[in-house]
C-alpha cells in the first residue's frame, strides 16, 4: 500500500493535457513546508499510514442524516481584474461540487463497464454559509483587494481563513507558482489557518472565466481535503511508476495525463480507473465506493475538526439550516495607490456581501468627501493617507479604513541636485515609504553607510517582509534643463542561501505615479555585492561592498512630474539577507529660461562678475529669496548684504566658472546664468 501521498492538485490548461503530462508544484510546496517544521514530513507520513489502515473500514456515522452537508466560504483575492469572479460563477462551482459528489453528473453513462458499478454517490453536499464566524449575515463569499492574489507557497497568505471546524475554506486567486492551478493540505497536516483549498479563478466553476473543461479541478481538490490521494500513489506526477492510493477498488496505476480508457499497464488484464476524479486524465467522472468510505471516515474521525462540519449545531451556526439572505454589505475598495498633492484621485468600490445603496468616502488628508460609488477625493498633504469607505443598504452599514494611499509631494525650488542620504529624518513629508501588512520595511540604519553616518535598510534576515517594500521620491520638474538629468544610488546586499532570489528594482513615473517604467532590476547572485554567500546577518557592509549605479534620464527631459520608486521584493519561501541603500541623487542643470515671469523692475549686474553681484529692484520687498548654484546644481552659501534698494552678493572667493542665480519674488521667479571672472 502507498506510504506517501500527493496532496497537491495540479490542473493545467488544455495544452497541459498532452503526452508530456502535468507540471507539478509539490516539490516547492513540500520544500517550504518541511523547511518550516522538521517534524512535518514524519507527521505527514503518519497521517497517510493511519488513513490507509481505515480506508476500507466504515466508521460509525455520527450525524442524524445519511448525507453530510458541508458549509463553504469562498475568499476571492483580486486586484480588480478578471480574477474577481462573479457570485454566479462561485454558485456554479458549488453546483458542480454537489453534482459530482452526489453522482448526479449525466456523463456517468459513459463510465467504462469495469467501474460502472463502483461509481459512488458519496452522500456529501456543499452549501454556501449564510452566517459568518461571528453570527453575522453573509452570502458565503468574501472579497479582498490584495496582491496576494498572485499566490505564493507561504503560510502568511492565509489571512482570511474562517474556523476550519465550521467551514470548508476555498481561496480563489489569480496566479500560482509553477503553473499549478490549485492545492490543499491533507487533513491534520498543517495549522488551522492554512487548512484550506487554493484554486485559480479560471478553474472555478464552468462559466465566467472558467469552462467545462476546467470545472472539475475543484472536485479533485476537495477530494484531497477529505483525505483522498492521487490514484497512482506516491510519485510526483502520473506515468512515473505504478502505485496505490490505499483504496482497494482503485487498481494500481501509473496515473494518466490522457484518456486511455483501456490502460492496464500495472496489472495485466486489470483495467485502471482512468475516469477517477483523483486522476489527471481529462475524462474524470467518478469516485469509487472505497473513496466514498475514505472521505466519510475522514469526516467522522475528528481529524482537524472535520466531524463538526456537518453536525446539526454547526449547520444552524453557519446558517445552512434556516438561511438568511438579506445581508448588509461589507466595505472593500482598492488600496496601495498613488496620487499627488492637489490632484483628484479616483477610488474604486469593491464592496460585497449584499447590494450597496449608499457610499461615503472620506479622508483626514482630503479637502472633500464623496458619495459616488467610485469616489473622487482631493488631497492637500503629502505622505501616507488613510481613506475610509462607509457603505450601507436597508439591512445595515459597514465601513473600512485603509492607510496605504501614497500622496507624493512636489518640490518648489525647481533645483534638481537633491540627495537623499538618510542623514536626517526618514521618511518625511517628501520621501515616503510603503510597508506591507506584515514584516519590516525600509528604515534608517545608523551603524554603517556608503557615506556619512546613516543609510536605509530592509531587515530581511530576522524580519522577512510578506511583500514588496518601497521608497518613493518627491516629484521633480525636468523642464528647462540644459543637460540630461541623472539618477545615481548606492546599494549593498548579501545572499543568505544560493536559492534566495531577493529582488531590487528601480522605477520612474512621468505621470505622477499613474504608471511606472522599470529602470533597473537585479536579483539573487546578480544583486549580491559581497561575491559570496553570507549565512549570518549581513549588518555592516564595508566600503568595497557598496555598488554604485548611474542611470541617464535623457528620455525624460521636459517632463514636469517625475517620481522614482525603489522597491525591494523578498524571496518569500524563505528568510533572506539584509539590503542597504544610500546616496540617492537626482541631478541636472536648470536652464536660463525664466520660469514664471520677467520680474519687471529687477536688474542683475555685472555679468560677468568679478567680486560683487548687484540685484536691484524698484521695490526691494518684491524679492522673497535669492539662491546661487554651481554647475552641478549644488546650492552655495554666499554672503548677502541688503542695502536700501538692492542686494549685494559677495562672490569674490568663488572659483572662475559658470553659476546659476535663482530669484524668487512676489511676481514669479527666474534663473540667470552667471559668469565668474
Q: What is the pLDDT of residue 1?
A: 36
275: pLDDT strictly greater than 90: yes
> Could you give the CA distance from residue 421 to residue 581 in angstroms, rounded to a whole number?
9
Q: What is the pLDDT of residue 203?
A: 93
Give the rounded percent of residues in the chain with a pLDDT score beyond 90.
Answer: 49
- Indicate yes or no: pTM above 0.85: no
Q: What is the pLDDT of residue 27?
A: 52
169: pLDDT strictly greater than 50: yes
Q: Which residues, 6+ apart, have CB-to-CB distance to 38 below 8 Å?
A: none
Q: Which residues, 6+ apart, have CB-to-CB distance to 442 below 8 Å?
A: 426, 433, 456, 457, 458, 469, 470, 471, 568, 581
Residues 305/282, Cβ–Cβ less than 8 Å? no
Residues 551/491, Cβ–Cβ less than 8 Å? no
Domains for the chain: give ranges and CATH numbers. Answer: 15-317 (3.40.390.10), 338-408 (2.60.40.10), 418-587 (2.60.120.200), 602-676 (2.60.40.10)
Average pLDDT over residues 369-373: 97
> Could you give the CA distance from residue 170 to residue 519 in angstroms, rounded to a whole number?
38
Output the average pLDDT for the chain. 85
Q: What is the pLDDT of residue 546?
A: 97
- CA 519 from chain centre, in angstroms, equals 21
The count of other CB atoms within 10 Å of the CB of residue 497 is 15
Backbone angles phi, psi at 116, to 5 degrees: -60, -40
List, in sequence order, the alpha helices (H) in 194-351. Answer: 217-225, 289-301, 312-317
Q: What is the pLDDT of residue 36?
A: 78
Q: What is the pLDDT of residue 223?
A: 93
464: pLDDT strictly greater than 80: no
pLDDT tens track for 318-347: 999 989 889 999 999 986 688 888 888 899
Predicted confidence band at 482 (pLDDT cuts at 50, 70, 90)? Answer: low
> Could you give the CA distance from residue 156 to residue 193 in angstroms, rounded to a whole number?
9
Average pLDDT over residues 261-285: 91
Average pLDDT over residues 349-365: 96
Predicted confidence band at 202 (pLDDT cuts at 50, 70, 90)? Answer: very high
> Could you give the CA distance from residue 612 to residue 601 in angstroms, rounded to a whole number?
20
> Could you give the CA distance from residue 176 to residue 193 in angstroms, rounded to a whole number?
19
64: pLDDT strictly greater than 70: no
**Rounded to 5 degrees, what angle do the CA atoms 342, 347, 352 make?**
160
* Least confident segment among 148-152, 184-188, 313-317, 432-436: 432-436
Helix (H) or strand (E) segment spanning residue 317:
helix 312-317
DSSP state for residue 218 in the 8-state scheme: H
Residues 360/371, Cβ–Cβ less than 8 Å? yes
Which neighbouring-strand residues pair with 584? 420
From the number of C-beta atoms within 10 Å of its C-beta (0-12, 13-18, 19+), residue 490 rates as buried
Predicted confidence band at 19 (pLDDT cuts at 50, 70, 90)? Answer: very low
> Could you give the CA distance from residue 328 to residue 555 in angstroms, rounded to a whole number?
51
240: pLDDT strictly greater than 80: yes
Q: What is the pLDDT of residue 131?
A: 97
pLDDT tens track for 400-419: 998 767 888 865 444 455 67
Q: What is the pLDDT of residue 617?
A: 81
Helix (H) or strand (E) segment spanning residue 100:
helix 87-101
Instruction: Give which of 320, 292, 254 is closest to 70, Cα–Cα.
Output: 320
Catalytic residues: 221
Helix (H) or strand (E) segment spanning residue 95:
helix 87-101
The count of other CB atoms within 10 Å of the CB of residue 252 is 18
Residues 408/339, Cβ–Cβ less than 8 Å? yes
> Could you give the CA distance from residue 206 to residue 199 in angstroms, rounded to a whole number?
14
> Could you give the CA distance from residue 79 to residue 150 in angstroms, rounded to a whole number?
9
Average pLDDT over residues 502-507: 97
User: pLDDT: is 428 or 166 the higher one?
Assistant: 166
> Could you give the CA distance from residue 48 to residue 205 in angstroms, rounded to a whole number?
30
pLDDT tens track for 438-460: 667 899 999 889 988 999 999 99
Q: What is the pLDDT of residue 347?
A: 92
**Candidate ranges 170-174, 338-342, 401-405, 486-490; pick with highest mean pLDDT:** 170-174
Amino acid at each position: 500500500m502507498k506510504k506517501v501521498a500527493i496532496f497537491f492538485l495540479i490542473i493545467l490548461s488544455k495544452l497541459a493535457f498532452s503526452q508530456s503530462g502535468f507540471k507539478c508544484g509539490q516539490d516547492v510546496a513540500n520544500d517550504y513546508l518541511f523547511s518550516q517544521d522538521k517534524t512535518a514530513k514524519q507527521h505527514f507520513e503518519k497521517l497517510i499510514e493511519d488513513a490507509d489502515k481505515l480506508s476500507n473500514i466504515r466508521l460509525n456515522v455520527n450525524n442524524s442524516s445519511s448525507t453530510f452537508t458541508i458549509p463553504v466560504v469562498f475568499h476571492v483575492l483580486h486586484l480588480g481584474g478578471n480574477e474577481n469572479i462573479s457570485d454566479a460563477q462561485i454558485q456554479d462551482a458549488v453546483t458542480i461540487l454537489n453534482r459530482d459528489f452526489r453522482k448526479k453528473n449525466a456523463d456517468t453513462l459513459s463510465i467504462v463497464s469495469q467501474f460502472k458499478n463502483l461509481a459512488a454517490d458519496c452522500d456529501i453536499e456543499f452549501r454556501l454559509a449564510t452566517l459568518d464566524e461571528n453570527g453575522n449575515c453573509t452570502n458565503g463569499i468574501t472579497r479582498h483587494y490584495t496582491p496576494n492574489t498572485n499566490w505564493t507557497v507561504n503560510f502568511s497568505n492565509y489571512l482570511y481563513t474562517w474556523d476550519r471546524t465550521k467551514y470548508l475554506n476555498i481561496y480563489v486567486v489569480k496566479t500560482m507558482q509553477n503553473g499549478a492551478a490549485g492545492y490543499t493540505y491533507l487533513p491534520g497536516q498543517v495549522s488551522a489557518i492554512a487548512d484550506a483549498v487554493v484554486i485559480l479563478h479560471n478553474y472555478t466553476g464552468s462559466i465566467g472565466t472558467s469552462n467545462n473543461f476546467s470545472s472539475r479541478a475543484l472536485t479533485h481538490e476537495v477530494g484531497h481535503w477529505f483525505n483522498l490521494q492521487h490514484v497512482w500513489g506516491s510519485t510526483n506526477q502520473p506515468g512515473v511508476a505504478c502505485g496505490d492510493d490505499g483504496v482497494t477498488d482503485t487498481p494500481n496505476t501509473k496515473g494518466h495525463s490522457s484518456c486511455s480508457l483501456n490502460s492496464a499497464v500495472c496489472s495485466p488484464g486489470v483495467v485502471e480507473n482512468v475516469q477517477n476524479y483523483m486522476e489527471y486524465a481529462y475524462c474524470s467522472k467518478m469516485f469509487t465506493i472505497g473513496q466514498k468510505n475514505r472521505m466519510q471516515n475522514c469526516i467522522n474521525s475528528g481529524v482537524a475538526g472535520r466531524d463538526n462540519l456537518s453536525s446539526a449545531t454547526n449547520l444552524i451556526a453557519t446558517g445552512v439550516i434556516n438561511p438568511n439572505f438579506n445581508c448588509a454589505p461589507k466595505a472593500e475598495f482598492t488600496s496601495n495607490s498613488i496620487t499627488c498633492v492637489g490632484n483628484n484621485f479616483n477610488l474604486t468600490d469593491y464592496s460585497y456581501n449584499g447590494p450597496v445603496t449608499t457610499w461615503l468616502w472620506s479622508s483626514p488628508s482630503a479637502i472633500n468627501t464623496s458619495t459616488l460609488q467610485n469616489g473622487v477625493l482631493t488631497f492637500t498633504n503629502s505622505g501616507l493617507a488613510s481613506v475610509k469607505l462607509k457603505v450601507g443598504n436597508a439591512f445595515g452599514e459597514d465601513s473600512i479604513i485603509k492607510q496605504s494611499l501614497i500622496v507624493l509631494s512636489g518640490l518648489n525650488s525647481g533645483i534638481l541636485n537633491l540627495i537623499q542620504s538618510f542623514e536626517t529624518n526618514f521618511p518625511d513629508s517628501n520621501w515616503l515609504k510603503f510597508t506591507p501588512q506584515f514584516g519590516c520595511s525600509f528604515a534608517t540604519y545608523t551603524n554603517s553607510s556608503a557615506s556619512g553616518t546613516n543609510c536605509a535598510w530592509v531587515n530581511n534576515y530576522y524580519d522577512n517582509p510578506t511583500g514588496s517594500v518601497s521608497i518613493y521620491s518627491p516629484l521633480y520638474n525636468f523642464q528647462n534643463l540644459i543637460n540630461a538629468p541623472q539618477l545615481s544610488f548606492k546599494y549593498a546586499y548579501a545572499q543568505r542561501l544560493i536559492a534566495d532570489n531577493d529582488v531590487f528594482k528601480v522605477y520612474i513615473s512621468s505621470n505622477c505615479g499613474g504608471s511606472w517604467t522599470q529602470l533597473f532590476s537585479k536579483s539573487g547572485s546578480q544583486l549580491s555585492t559581497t561575491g559570496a554567500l553570507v549565512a549570518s546577518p549581513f549588518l555592516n557592509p564595508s566600503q568595497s561592498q557598496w555598488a554604485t549605479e548611474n542611470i541617464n534620464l535623457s528620455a525624460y527631459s521636459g517632463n514636469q512630474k517625475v517620481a522614482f520608486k525603489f522597491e525591494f521584493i523578498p524571496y518569500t519561501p524563505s528568510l533572506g539577507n539584509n539590503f542597504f541603500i544610500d546616496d540617492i541623487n537626482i541631478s541636472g542643470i536648470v536652464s536660463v529660461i525664466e520660469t514664471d515671469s520677467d520680474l519687471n523692475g529687477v536688474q542683475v549686474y555685472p555679468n560677468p562678475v568679478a567680486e560683487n553681484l548687484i540685484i536691484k529692484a524698484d521695490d526691494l520687498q518684491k524679492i522673497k529669496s535669492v539662491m546661487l548654484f554651481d554647475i552641478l546644481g549644488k546650492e552655495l552659501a554666499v554672503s548677502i548684504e541688503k542695502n536700501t534698494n538692492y542686494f549685494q552678493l559677495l562672490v569674490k572667493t568663488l572659483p572662475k566658472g559658470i553659476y546659476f542665480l535663482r530669484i524668487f519674488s512676489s511676481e514669479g521667479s527666474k534663473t540667470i546664468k552667471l559668469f565668474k571672472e
